[in-house]
Amino acid sequence: MQDRTYTADAEPGDEVTVAGWVHEIRDLGGIAFLILRDTTGKIQIKFEKEEMDDDLVEAGLDVSRESVIKVSGGVEEEPRAPTGVEVTPESLEVVAPADPELPLDPSGKVDADLSTRLDNRTLDLRKDDVQSIFEIRSGVLNAVRDQFREFDCTEINTPKIVATGTEGGTELFPITYFGEEAFMNQSPQLFKQLIAGSNVERVFEIGPIFRAEEHNTPRHLNEATSIDFEGAFCDHEDAMDVAEGIVKSAYEAVEENFGDELEALGIADEFEVPEGDFPRISYEEAIERINATGELDEQLVWGDDLSTPAEEALGQDVGGHYFITDWPSEIKPFYIKDHDDDPELSTGFDLMHPRMELVSGGQREHRHEKLIEGFEQQGLDPDQFEYYTKMFKYGMPPHAGFGLGGERLLMTLLELDNIREAVLFPRDRQRLSP
């Protein structure tokens, strides 16, 4: 297809060959129009029945919607055409016909439910708004990578098949690895720490995490994309600065480069880059504020995790992104360091969007003996983690980091109702293919 011209590049006066999908055919009697769509946009192909070869007219008007065709002809200016130009065809080839019975309508005129859309993702992605989500996803990941590089980070890739879990035993997917029990990794947590403890010092990873979440919710996936940071000689405040910078860089990139896509998604008018510093609210203040909203049936007490309604009540109260800091040590994982002056309080933090949690992070326990104690307190066998703990005996600097849910970032940024909309082929309780 070397000689093919993108529809967006077809200029009046050009002789072009355009190729793409049949979006729509409008037959007005003496004249008919076929709208051809490719990745850059759409173009009108005009059929004047009296003046054109019958076979050509028939080929153009009998072709079913969503068939792939290739059309050669001259481009002319035509103010009434959707893009201001049209092609008068000299030849038309049906490259790949489409079954006239389509499982969903890519023109978007007929709504399809999410499950039908996900079962037919190729057709679904032919819609402008759906394509826009994934163009933005790609742009956000680029922006995030650039911002991490500005923060002097090195991109790493860590194994996804592992011997131990870190984020709670019940959420693990077990697999068999040459006859031995292994798991799909829930988080690059231990590996990123092991690298931050080397001379590399500051690292990031964008990769899949696997969680055997029991329930179907609009904000949990069984395979998600985690955006992870870990930095040596960082404390939790530094990690919060990095998390805030990364989230803002995503919004800025979308504002700068994706105006058309925001338009296609119908959110261009309300889209805003978050302004000012994200407030840092202690856990203690958070539960007081949640209780004061009167939204919960039962008052929260110190030590409670925040339920979804609690997070929503606080999100409404704050009205923008914010951090929750100084969580009770007992509800944070073993690798999170406690405050030196108060062992009941951890350095763990969450970064919240008013709709949901986006990030968890904290300063890490880097002292070998304390780390072993933390395993024991959480009922974990430190011997199983020896591959990790032993490196804390050879000069492990203080370090901190976080994990940001990539799909949650997109979902909140683009106001998507369901996290599955931010993934091409989501994995959930019901969905293992496509």
Active-site residues, by number, are: 211, 213, 219-220, 357, 360, 408
Please report whether residue 215 would count as binding ligand ATP according to CB under 6 A.
yes
Please report whether residue 411 would count as binding ligand AMO according to CB under 6 A.
no
DSSP secondary structure, 97-161, as one string: ---SS-SS-TTSSS---HHHHHHTHHHHTTSHHHHHHHHHHHHHHHHHHHHHHHTT-EE----SE
Closer residue to ligand ATP in complex, CB, 11/214: 214
* Annotated binding-site residue? 407: yes
Tell me the one-letter amino acid at 103: P
List the one residue from 44, 72, 226, 412 that touches ligand AMO (CB under 6 A).
226
* Annotated binding-site residue? 406: yes
Write down the least CB distance from residue 226 to ligand ATP, Å: 10
* Annotated binding-site residue? 339: no
List the one residue from 196, 408, 412, 428 that touches ligand AMO (CB under 6 A).
408
Please report whether residue 237 would count as binding ligand AMO according to CB under 6 A.
no
What helix, strand, coil percent values describe the chain, rounded to 5?
Answer: 35, 30, 40
Strands 342-346 and 349-353, sheet pairing: unpaired
Give the count of beta carbons closer than 10 Å to the beta carbon of residue 69.
Answer: 22
Write down the least CB distance from residue 307 to ligand ATP, Å: 4
361 binds, among ligand ATP, ligand AMO, none (CB under 5 to 8 A by kind): ligand AMO
Please report whether residue 304 would count as binding ligand ATP according to CB under 6 A.
no
* Annotated binding-site residue? 137: no
Packed helices 236-257 and 406-413: angle between N→C axes, nearest 10 degrees: 50
Write down the least CB distance from residue 367 to ligand ATP, Å: 25
Residue 238's contacts (CB-CB under 8 Å, 6 or more residues apart) are 231, 400
Cα–Cα distances (Å) from 339 to 192, 197, 348, 350, 393, in that order, read 22, 21, 9, 16, 21
Tell me the one-letter amino acid at 104: L
Instruction: Give residue 24's region: left, alpha or beta (phi > 0; psi -120 to 50).
Output: beta
Write down the least CB distance from residue 67 to ligand ATP, Å: 43
* Annotated binding-site residue? 321: no
Residues 307-326 that bind ligand ATP (CB under 6 A): 307-308
Alpha helices (H) along 294-400: 308-318, 368-377, 386-389
Please report whether residue 401 would count as binding ligand AMO according to CB under 6 A.
yes
Closer residue to ligand ATP in complex, CB, 119/167: 167
* Annotated binding-site residue? 202: no
Cβ atoms of 31 and 51 closer than 8 Å: no
358 binds, among ligand ATP, ligand AMO, none (CB under 5 to 8 A by kind): ligand AMO
Q: Which of 49, 56, 42 is nearest to 89 (CA)?
A: 56
Residues 353-392 that bind ligand AMO (CB under 6 A): 357-362
* Annotated binding-site residue? 353: no
Strand order in the sheet with 154-155: 154-155, 202-210, 223-232, 399-405, 356-363, 349-353, 322-325, 280-282
Closer residue to ligand ATP in complex, CB, 39/299: 299
Q: How far is CA 200 from the centre of its chain?
A: 27
Please report whether residue 403 would count as binding ligand AMO according to CB under 6 A.
yes
Please report whether residue 281 would count as binding ligand AMO according to CB under 6 A.
no
Write down the least CB distance from residue 357 to ligand AMO, Å: 5
- Per CB under 6 A, the segment of 35-43, 124-132, 214-222, 267-275 that binds ligand ATP is 214-222
Closer residue to ligand AMO in complex, CB, 374/403: 403
Residue 133's contacts (CB-CB under 8 Å, 6 or more residues apart) are 261, 265, 410, 414, 416, 421, 422
401 binds, among ligand ATP, ligand AMO, none (CB under 5 to 8 A by kind): ligand AMO
Footprint on this chain of ligand ATP (rule: CB under 6 A): 213-215, 217, 220, 305, 307-308, 357, 360
